[in-house]
Chains A and B, each alone.
Chain A
Amino acid sequence: MPDTIKLEIISPSGLVYQDDVRHVQAPGEMGYFGVLNGHTPMISALDVGRITADRDGGRDLFATSGGVAEVHADSVIILAETAERRSQIDVDRAEAAKQRAEQRLHSHDPTVDFERASTALMRAFNRIRVARGV
Protein backbone atom coordinates (compact mmCIF):
# COMPACT_ATOMS: atom_id res chain seq x y z
CA MET A 1 0.00 0.00 0.00
CA PRO A 2 1.43 3.37 -0.93
CA ASP A 3 1.91 5.62 2.02
CA THR A 4 0.94 8.87 0.36
CA ILE A 5 -2.45 10.40 -0.25
CA LYS A 6 -3.51 12.74 -3.04
CA LEU A 7 -4.48 16.19 -1.74
CA GLU A 8 -6.41 18.77 -3.72
CA ILE A 9 -7.44 22.13 -2.35
CA ILE A 10 -10.08 23.82 -4.50
CA SER A 11 -11.48 27.29 -3.94
CA PRO A 12 -13.90 29.36 -6.06
CA SER A 13 -10.89 31.04 -7.63
CA GLY A 14 -9.51 27.72 -8.81
CA LEU A 15 -7.21 24.90 -7.84
CA VAL A 16 -5.03 26.12 -5.00
CA TYR A 17 -2.93 23.07 -4.33
CA GLN A 18 -2.39 19.59 -5.68
CA ASP A 19 0.23 17.15 -4.50
CA ASP A 20 0.85 13.69 -3.07
CA VAL A 21 1.32 14.09 0.64
CA ARG A 22 1.96 11.84 3.62
CA HIS A 23 -0.40 13.47 6.04
CA VAL A 24 -3.12 16.11 5.93
CA GLN A 25 -4.43 18.00 8.90
CA ALA A 26 -7.61 20.07 8.59
CA PRO A 27 -9.80 22.13 10.94
CA GLY A 28 -13.01 20.10 11.35
CA GLU A 29 -15.95 21.69 13.12
CA MET A 30 -15.32 19.41 16.10
CA GLY A 31 -11.58 20.08 16.12
CA TYR A 32 -8.55 19.34 13.98
CA PHE A 33 -8.32 15.93 12.37
CA GLY A 34 -5.55 14.15 10.52
CA VAL A 35 -5.83 11.99 7.42
CA LEU A 36 -3.44 9.26 6.28
CA ASN A 37 -3.71 6.87 3.36
CA GLY A 38 -6.50 4.34 3.84
CA HIS A 39 -8.90 6.62 5.69
CA THR A 40 -12.62 5.75 5.86
CA PRO A 41 -14.64 7.75 3.30
CA MET A 42 -15.77 10.83 5.16
CA ILE A 43 -17.25 14.24 4.51
CA SER A 44 -16.49 16.84 7.09
CA ALA A 45 -17.44 20.45 7.47
CA LEU A 46 -14.41 22.67 8.04
CA ASP A 47 -14.10 25.62 10.34
CA VAL A 48 -11.83 28.63 10.20
CA GLY A 49 -8.29 27.39 10.72
CA ARG A 50 -5.11 25.95 9.31
CA ILE A 51 -4.62 23.21 6.76
CA THR A 52 -1.32 21.38 7.04
CA ALA A 53 0.07 19.18 4.27
CA ASP A 54 3.17 17.13 5.08
CA ARG A 55 5.17 16.14 2.03
CA ASP A 56 8.43 14.25 1.82
CA GLY A 57 10.26 17.49 1.13
CA GLY A 58 8.58 19.61 3.78
CA ARG A 59 5.34 21.10 4.96
CA ASP A 60 2.79 23.40 3.31
CA LEU A 61 0.48 25.55 5.38
CA PHE A 62 -2.77 27.25 4.37
CA ALA A 63 -5.20 29.52 6.12
CA THR A 64 -8.84 28.75 5.36
CA SER A 65 -12.09 30.43 6.33
CA GLY A 66 -13.95 27.15 6.23
CA GLY A 67 -15.41 24.75 3.74
CA VAL A 68 -15.87 21.05 3.41
CA ALA A 69 -13.48 18.12 3.03
CA GLU A 70 -14.18 14.98 1.05
CA VAL A 71 -11.98 12.14 2.27
CA HIS A 72 -11.49 8.95 0.29
CA ALA A 73 -9.07 6.09 0.95
CA ASP A 74 -6.45 7.50 -1.41
CA SER A 75 -7.41 11.14 -1.83
CA VAL A 76 -8.59 14.22 0.03
CA ILE A 77 -10.46 17.01 -1.72
CA ILE A 78 -10.83 20.17 0.28
CA LEU A 79 -13.42 22.62 -0.98
CA ALA A 80 -12.43 25.80 0.78
CA GLU A 81 -14.26 29.07 0.49
CA THR A 82 -10.88 30.75 0.80
CA ALA A 83 -7.49 29.08 1.03
CA GLU A 84 -4.31 31.10 1.20
CA ARG A 85 -0.85 29.64 1.17
CA ARG A 86 1.17 30.79 4.15
CA SER A 87 3.67 32.69 2.02
CA GLN A 88 0.91 34.58 0.21
CA ILE A 89 -0.89 35.93 3.25
CA ASP A 90 -0.82 39.70 3.44
CA VAL A 91 -0.14 40.19 7.15
CA ASP A 92 -0.65 43.95 7.04
CA ARG A 93 -4.08 43.55 5.53
CA ALA A 94 -4.98 40.88 8.04
CA GLU A 95 -3.81 43.14 10.88
CA ALA A 96 -5.93 45.97 9.52
CA ALA A 97 -8.96 43.67 9.25
CA LYS A 98 -8.37 42.46 12.79
CA GLN A 99 -8.24 46.01 14.15
CA ARG A 100 -11.36 46.98 12.23
CA ALA A 101 -13.27 44.01 13.60
CA GLU A 102 -12.06 44.68 17.16
CA GLN A 103 -13.13 48.28 16.92
CA ARG A 104 -16.56 47.26 15.76
CA LEU A 105 -16.89 44.75 18.59
CA HIS A 106 -15.82 47.27 21.23
CA SER A 107 -18.05 50.07 19.98
CA HIS A 108 -21.45 50.05 21.59
CA ASP A 109 -23.13 50.84 18.32
CA PRO A 110 -26.43 48.92 18.14
CA THR A 111 -26.23 48.66 14.33
CA VAL A 112 -23.06 46.51 14.53
CA ASP A 113 -23.69 42.96 13.41
CA PHE A 114 -21.96 41.24 16.29
CA GLU A 115 -21.79 37.84 14.67
CA ARG A 116 -20.35 39.16 11.43
CA ALA A 117 -17.74 41.20 13.23
CA SER A 118 -16.66 38.28 15.37
CA THR A 119 -16.29 35.92 12.40
CA ALA A 120 -14.29 38.63 10.63
CA LEU A 121 -12.08 38.85 13.69
CA MET A 122 -11.65 35.09 13.78
CA ARG A 123 -10.66 34.96 10.12
CA ALA A 124 -8.17 37.79 10.44
CA PHE A 125 -6.69 36.28 13.58
CA ASN A 126 -6.38 32.92 11.87
CA ARG A 127 -4.55 34.40 8.90
CA ILE A 128 -2.12 36.20 11.14
CA ARG A 129 -1.50 33.05 13.15
CA VAL A 130 -0.89 30.92 10.07
CA ALA A 131 1.38 33.56 8.56
CA ARG A 132 3.44 33.81 11.72
CA GLY A 133 3.55 30.02 12.04
CA VAL A 134 2.43 30.02 15.69
Chain B
Amino acid sequence: MPSLKQIKRRIGSVNNTKQITRAMKMVSAAKLRRAQDSMMAARPYSDRLRALIRDLAARTDRGLHPLLAEREPRRVCVVVVTSDRGLAGSFNLNINRRAHKVVREMERQAEEVKLIAIGRKGYDYFRKRGYEFIQHHIGLSRDFTFSNVLSIGEAIRNRYVETHDEDTGLDRVYLIYNEFKNVVTQEVITEQLFPIVPELKTEEQYPVDYVYEPSEPQVLDSILPRYANVMLWHVLLESFAAEHAARMNAMENATNNAADLIESLTLQYNKARQAAITKEILEVVAGAEGLE
Protein backbone atom coordinates (compact mmCIF):
# COMPACT_ATOMS: atom_id res chain seq x y z
CA MET B 1 0.00 0.00 0.00
CA PRO B 2 1.43 3.39 -1.01
CA SER B 3 2.01 5.90 1.73
CA LEU B 4 -0.30 8.81 2.42
CA LYS B 5 2.23 11.25 0.99
CA GLN B 6 2.55 9.29 -2.24
CA ILE B 7 -1.21 9.18 -2.76
CA LYS B 8 -1.50 12.87 -2.08
CA ARG B 9 1.21 13.65 -4.62
CA ARG B 10 -0.56 11.51 -7.20
CA ILE B 11 -3.84 13.30 -6.63
CA GLY B 12 -2.04 16.59 -7.20
CA SER B 13 -0.49 15.46 -10.48
CA VAL B 14 -3.74 14.00 -11.83
CA ASN B 15 -5.43 17.24 -10.92
CA ASN B 16 -2.86 19.20 -12.91
CA THR B 17 -3.44 16.99 -15.93
CA LYS B 18 -7.14 17.48 -15.58
CA GLN B 19 -6.76 21.23 -15.64
CA ILE B 20 -4.68 21.04 -18.81
CA THR B 21 -7.10 18.73 -20.60
CA ARG B 22 -10.01 20.93 -19.62
CA ALA B 23 -8.25 24.01 -20.97
CA MET B 24 -7.45 22.19 -24.22
CA LYS B 25 -11.07 21.21 -24.54
CA MET B 26 -12.14 24.81 -24.25
CA VAL B 27 -9.59 26.01 -26.78
CA SER B 28 -10.80 23.36 -29.24
CA ALA B 29 -14.41 24.38 -28.71
CA ALA B 30 -13.53 27.97 -29.64
CA LYS B 31 -11.60 26.89 -32.74
CA LEU B 32 -14.41 24.59 -33.78
CA ARG B 33 -16.83 27.49 -33.66
CA ARG B 34 -14.52 29.63 -35.74
CA ALA B 35 -14.22 26.92 -38.38
CA GLN B 36 -17.98 26.46 -38.48
CA ASP B 37 -18.49 30.19 -38.89
CA SER B 38 -16.00 30.29 -41.76
CA MET B 39 -17.75 27.37 -43.43
CA MET B 40 -21.06 29.18 -43.29
CA ALA B 41 -19.47 32.39 -44.57
CA ALA B 42 -17.93 30.65 -47.60
CA ARG B 43 -21.20 29.06 -48.63
CA PRO B 44 -22.77 31.91 -50.69
CA TYR B 45 -19.55 32.36 -52.63
CA SER B 46 -19.08 28.69 -53.44
CA ASP B 47 -22.76 28.11 -54.21
CA ARG B 48 -22.84 30.91 -56.76
CA LEU B 49 -19.59 29.82 -58.37
CA ARG B 50 -20.87 26.26 -58.61
CA ALA B 51 -24.09 27.46 -60.26
CA LEU B 52 -22.08 29.50 -62.76
CA ILE B 53 -19.84 26.55 -63.59
CA ARG B 54 -22.86 24.34 -64.08
CA ASP B 55 -24.28 26.87 -66.48
CA LEU B 56 -21.02 27.36 -68.38
CA ALA B 57 -20.02 23.70 -68.53
CA ALA B 58 -23.29 22.99 -70.33
CA ARG B 59 -22.52 25.66 -72.93
CA THR B 60 -18.87 24.94 -73.67
CA ASP B 61 -16.94 21.89 -74.75
CA ARG B 62 -15.70 20.29 -71.56
CA GLY B 63 -12.91 18.42 -73.29
CA LEU B 64 -11.17 21.70 -74.11
CA HIS B 65 -10.57 22.86 -70.59
CA PRO B 66 -7.65 21.23 -68.76
CA LEU B 67 -9.41 21.43 -65.40
CA LEU B 68 -12.55 19.75 -66.74
CA ALA B 69 -11.19 17.26 -69.27
CA GLU B 70 -11.31 13.64 -68.17
CA ARG B 71 -8.18 11.66 -68.88
CA GLU B 72 -7.47 8.01 -68.39
CA PRO B 73 -6.36 7.82 -64.74
CA ARG B 74 -2.87 6.42 -65.23
CA ARG B 75 -1.13 8.75 -62.83
CA VAL B 76 -3.20 9.36 -59.74
CA CYS B 77 -2.45 11.70 -56.87
CA VAL B 78 -3.83 11.39 -53.36
CA VAL B 79 -3.89 14.43 -51.09
CA VAL B 80 -3.96 13.27 -47.46
CA VAL B 81 -5.45 15.89 -45.17
CA THR B 82 -4.57 15.42 -41.50
CA SER B 83 -3.81 17.67 -38.57
CA ASP B 84 -0.40 18.95 -37.59
CA ARG B 85 -0.85 18.02 -33.98
CA GLY B 86 -1.97 14.93 -32.13
CA LEU B 87 -4.06 14.44 -29.00
CA ALA B 88 -7.20 14.29 -31.10
CA GLY B 89 -8.35 10.77 -30.40
CA SER B 90 -8.52 8.55 -33.46
CA PHE B 91 -8.79 11.51 -35.85
CA ASN B 92 -5.47 11.06 -37.64
CA LEU B 93 -5.34 7.30 -37.33
CA ASN B 94 -8.68 6.90 -39.12
CA ILE B 95 -7.52 9.09 -42.00
CA ASN B 96 -4.12 7.47 -42.34
CA ARG B 97 -5.48 3.94 -42.28
CA ARG B 98 -8.11 4.73 -44.87
CA ALA B 99 -5.65 6.65 -47.03
CA HIS B 100 -3.21 3.74 -46.85
CA LYS B 101 -5.91 1.36 -47.98
CA VAL B 102 -6.97 3.66 -50.82
CA VAL B 103 -3.36 4.12 -51.92
CA ARG B 104 -2.76 0.36 -52.00
CA GLU B 105 -5.94 -0.16 -54.01
CA MET B 106 -4.97 2.55 -56.48
CA GLU B 107 -1.49 1.14 -56.85
CA ARG B 108 -3.09 -1.97 -58.26
CA GLN B 109 -5.15 -0.06 -60.83
CA ALA B 110 -3.06 2.95 -61.82
CA GLU B 111 0.47 3.00 -63.14
CA GLU B 112 1.62 5.55 -60.65
CA VAL B 113 0.27 6.83 -57.36
CA LYS B 114 1.67 10.05 -55.96
CA LEU B 115 1.14 11.60 -52.57
CA ILE B 116 0.66 15.11 -51.30
CA ALA B 117 0.36 15.75 -47.56
CA ILE B 118 -1.49 18.59 -45.92
CA GLY B 119 -0.75 18.25 -42.22
CA ARG B 120 2.18 16.73 -40.38
CA LYS B 121 0.53 13.57 -39.10
CA GLY B 122 -0.19 12.13 -42.54
CA TYR B 123 3.26 13.09 -43.72
CA ASP B 124 4.91 11.28 -40.81
CA TYR B 125 2.72 8.21 -41.15
CA PHE B 126 3.53 7.60 -44.82
CA ARG B 127 7.16 8.62 -44.54
CA LYS B 128 7.63 6.00 -41.85
CA ARG B 129 6.24 3.41 -44.25
CA GLY B 130 8.63 4.35 -47.01
CA TYR B 131 6.42 6.53 -49.19
CA GLU B 132 7.64 9.65 -50.97
CA PHE B 133 5.69 12.85 -51.26
CA ILE B 134 5.67 15.16 -54.27
CA GLN B 135 4.53 18.03 -52.03
CA HIS B 136 3.88 18.51 -48.37
CA HIS B 137 2.22 21.45 -46.69
CA ILE B 138 2.83 21.57 -42.97
CA GLY B 139 2.06 24.27 -40.43
CA LEU B 140 -1.19 25.51 -41.91
CA SER B 141 -2.99 25.17 -38.58
CA ARG B 142 -0.73 27.85 -37.12
CA ASP B 143 -2.01 30.42 -39.59
CA PHE B 144 -5.26 29.11 -40.99
CA THR B 145 -6.31 31.79 -43.46
CA PHE B 146 -7.82 31.76 -46.92
CA SER B 147 -4.72 33.31 -48.47
CA ASN B 148 -2.56 30.47 -47.12
CA VAL B 149 -5.01 27.91 -48.46
CA LEU B 150 -4.85 29.77 -51.80
CA SER B 151 -1.15 29.17 -52.16
CA ILE B 152 -1.57 25.46 -51.39
CA GLY B 153 -4.38 25.26 -53.95
CA GLU B 154 -2.20 27.02 -56.48
CA ALA B 155 0.69 24.65 -55.87
CA ILE B 156 -1.51 21.57 -56.39
CA ARG B 157 -3.22 23.05 -59.44
CA ASN B 158 0.07 24.01 -61.09
CA ARG B 159 1.26 20.49 -60.60
CA TYR B 160 -1.91 19.19 -62.22
CA VAL B 161 -2.20 21.63 -65.12
CA GLU B 162 1.18 22.81 -66.21
CA THR B 163 2.97 19.52 -66.45
CA HIS B 164 0.21 17.35 -67.81
CA ASP B 165 2.20 16.54 -70.95
CA GLU B 166 5.35 15.35 -69.27
CA ASP B 167 6.08 12.20 -67.32
CA THR B 168 5.68 14.11 -64.08
CA GLY B 169 2.05 14.98 -64.72
CA LEU B 170 -1.10 13.86 -62.99
CA ASP B 171 -4.35 12.62 -64.46
CA ARG B 172 -6.50 12.74 -61.40
CA VAL B 173 -6.26 14.24 -57.92
CA TYR B 174 -8.20 12.95 -54.92
CA LEU B 175 -8.60 14.46 -51.49
CA ILE B 176 -8.93 12.26 -48.43
CA TYR B 177 -10.14 14.12 -45.39
CA ASN B 178 -12.31 13.96 -42.28
CA GLU B 179 -15.72 15.46 -42.78
CA PHE B 180 -17.34 17.18 -39.83
CA LYS B 181 -20.67 15.36 -39.38
CA ASN B 182 -21.46 16.69 -35.94
CA VAL B 183 -19.59 17.28 -32.73
CA VAL B 184 -19.26 13.57 -31.93
CA THR B 185 -18.79 12.01 -35.38
CA GLN B 186 -16.35 12.52 -38.20
CA GLU B 187 -16.42 10.63 -41.42
CA VAL B 188 -13.51 9.88 -43.71
CA ILE B 189 -14.34 11.14 -47.22
CA THR B 190 -12.58 10.61 -50.53
CA GLU B 191 -13.37 13.36 -53.01
CA GLN B 192 -12.10 14.17 -56.47
CA LEU B 193 -10.45 17.58 -56.78
CA PHE B 194 -9.20 17.42 -60.38
CA PRO B 195 -10.59 17.19 -62.96
CA ILE B 196 -13.46 19.23 -61.60
CA VAL B 197 -16.78 17.44 -61.95
CA PRO B 198 -19.55 19.97 -62.50
CA GLU B 199 -22.86 18.79 -61.08
CA LEU B 200 -25.15 18.95 -64.06
CA LYS B 201 -28.58 19.49 -62.69
CA THR B 202 -31.55 19.83 -64.98
CA GLU B 203 -33.32 22.47 -62.95
CA GLU B 204 -33.11 25.90 -64.53
CA GLN B 205 -30.79 27.92 -62.37
CA TYR B 206 -30.06 30.64 -64.88
CA PRO B 207 -32.98 31.38 -67.15
CA VAL B 208 -31.36 34.67 -68.15
CA ASP B 209 -29.29 34.83 -71.31
CA TYR B 210 -26.08 36.51 -70.27
CA VAL B 211 -23.47 38.34 -72.23
CA TYR B 212 -20.11 36.82 -71.34
CA GLU B 213 -17.12 39.11 -71.09
CA PRO B 214 -14.57 38.56 -72.57
CA SER B 215 -15.99 35.19 -73.75
CA GLU B 216 -17.54 32.03 -72.33
CA PRO B 217 -14.32 29.98 -72.27
CA GLN B 218 -12.41 32.85 -70.72
CA VAL B 219 -14.97 33.31 -67.97
CA LEU B 220 -14.79 29.57 -67.34
CA ASP B 221 -11.01 29.89 -67.28
CA SER B 222 -11.25 32.46 -64.56
CA ILE B 223 -13.89 30.68 -62.49
CA LEU B 224 -12.61 27.09 -62.43
CA PRO B 225 -9.37 27.70 -60.51
CA ARG B 226 -11.27 29.88 -58.05
CA TYR B 227 -13.81 27.14 -57.61
CA ALA B 228 -11.05 24.62 -56.91
CA ASN B 229 -9.61 27.04 -54.35
CA VAL B 230 -12.87 27.46 -52.52
CA MET B 231 -13.47 23.70 -52.66
CA LEU B 232 -10.11 23.11 -51.02
CA TRP B 233 -10.86 25.85 -48.48
CA HIS B 234 -14.11 24.10 -47.66
CA VAL B 235 -12.45 20.69 -47.33
CA LEU B 236 -9.75 22.10 -45.07
CA LEU B 237 -12.34 23.86 -42.94
CA GLU B 238 -14.26 20.59 -42.62
CA SER B 239 -11.11 18.82 -41.60
CA PHE B 240 -10.15 21.62 -39.21
CA ALA B 241 -13.61 21.54 -37.62
CA ALA B 242 -13.51 17.74 -37.37
CA GLU B 243 -10.05 17.87 -35.83
CA HIS B 244 -11.19 20.22 -33.13
CA ALA B 245 -14.39 18.29 -32.50
CA ALA B 246 -12.30 15.13 -32.13
CA ARG B 247 -9.84 16.84 -29.84
CA MET B 248 -12.68 18.32 -27.83
CA ASN B 249 -14.13 14.85 -27.25
CA ALA B 250 -10.77 13.31 -26.49
CA MET B 251 -10.07 16.04 -23.94
CA GLU B 252 -13.55 15.76 -22.49
CA ASN B 253 -12.97 12.03 -21.94
CA ALA B 254 -9.54 12.67 -20.49
CA THR B 255 -11.01 15.23 -18.09
CA ASN B 256 -13.70 12.79 -17.00
CA ASN B 257 -11.19 10.00 -16.56
CA ALA B 258 -9.01 12.26 -14.46
CA ALA B 259 -12.02 13.13 -12.30
CA ASP B 260 -12.78 9.41 -11.81
CA LEU B 261 -9.18 8.71 -10.97
CA ILE B 262 -9.09 11.54 -8.45
CA GLU B 263 -12.23 10.17 -6.84
CA SER B 264 -10.81 6.68 -6.42
CA LEU B 265 -7.47 8.05 -5.24
CA THR B 266 -9.24 10.22 -2.68
CA LEU B 267 -11.10 7.16 -1.43
CA GLN B 268 -7.82 5.29 -1.19
CA TYR B 269 -6.26 8.25 0.61
CA ASN B 270 -9.10 8.40 3.15
CA LYS B 271 -8.94 4.66 3.75
CA ALA B 272 -5.22 4.80 4.31
CA ARG B 273 -5.63 7.75 6.66
CA GLN B 274 -8.37 5.93 8.58
CA ALA B 275 -6.22 2.80 8.77
CA ALA B 276 -3.36 4.85 10.19
CA ILE B 277 -5.66 6.41 12.82
CA THR B 278 -7.10 3.04 13.79
CA LYS B 279 -3.63 1.62 14.09
CA GLU B 280 -2.57 4.49 16.34
CA ILE B 281 -5.62 4.04 18.61
CA LEU B 282 -4.95 0.32 18.83
CA GLU B 283 -1.37 1.04 19.81
CA VAL B 284 -2.46 3.52 22.47
CA VAL B 285 -5.04 1.08 23.84
CA ALA B 286 -2.52 -1.77 23.81
CA GLY B 287 0.00 0.46 25.57
CA ALA B 288 -2.58 1.44 28.23
CA GLU B 289 -3.48 -2.17 28.77
CA GLY B 290 0.19 -3.01 29.22
CA LEU B 291 0.43 -0.50 32.09
CA GLU B 292 -2.34 -2.13 34.13
Interface residues of A (CB under 8 A from B): 10-15, 28-30, 33, 40-46, 66-68, 70, 72, 77, 79, 81-82, 113, 116
Contacts and interface: CB of A to CB of B under 8 A. Distances in A.
A46 B212 CA distance: 12
B146 A42 contact: no
B287 to A, nearest CB: 80
Contacts of A40: 211
B63 interface: no
B48 A10 contact: yes
B214 interface: yes
Main SS class of interface, B: helix
Nearest to B213: A44
11 contacts: A10-B44, A13-B41, A13-B146, A29-B213, A42-B211, A43-B52, A45-B214, A46-B222, A68-B223, A72-B208, A79-B226
A79 B222 contact: no
Contacts of B218: 29, 45
B213 A30 contact: yes
B42 A79 contact: no
Contacts of B209: 41
A21 B214 CA distance: 25
B208 A29 contact: no
Contacts of B46: 12
Most chain A CB atoms below 10 A, which of B52, B154, B211: B211
Secondary structure class of chain A's binding surface, majority of residues: strand
B147 interface: yes
Given A43-B211, A43-B213, A10 B45 contact: yes
B212 A79 contact: no
Contacts of A82: 146-147
Given A10-B45, A12-B230, A43 B219 contact: yes
Q: How large is the interface on B (under 10, 10 to 19, 20 to 34, 35 or more residues)?
A: 20 to 34
A30 B49 CA distance: 21
A88 to B, nearest CB: 14
Contacts of A29: 213-214, 218, 222
B150 A14 contact: no
B31 to A, nearest CB: 16
Contacts of A30: 213-214
Interface in B23-60: 38, 41-42, 44-46, 48-49, 52
B221 interface: yes
A66 B219 CA distance: 12
A36 to B, nearest CB: 15
Contact of B48 (A41, A66, A77): A77
Contacts of B219: 43-45, 68
B208 A12 contact: no
A31 B223 CA distance: 18
Given A12-B233, A68-B52, A42 B210 contact: yes
Nearest to A28: B213
Contacts of A45: 213-214, 218-219, 221-223
B229 interface: yes
Name the 6 nearest CB pairs between A and B, nearest first: A14-B41, A45-B222, A44-B213, A42-B211, A12-B42, A41-B208
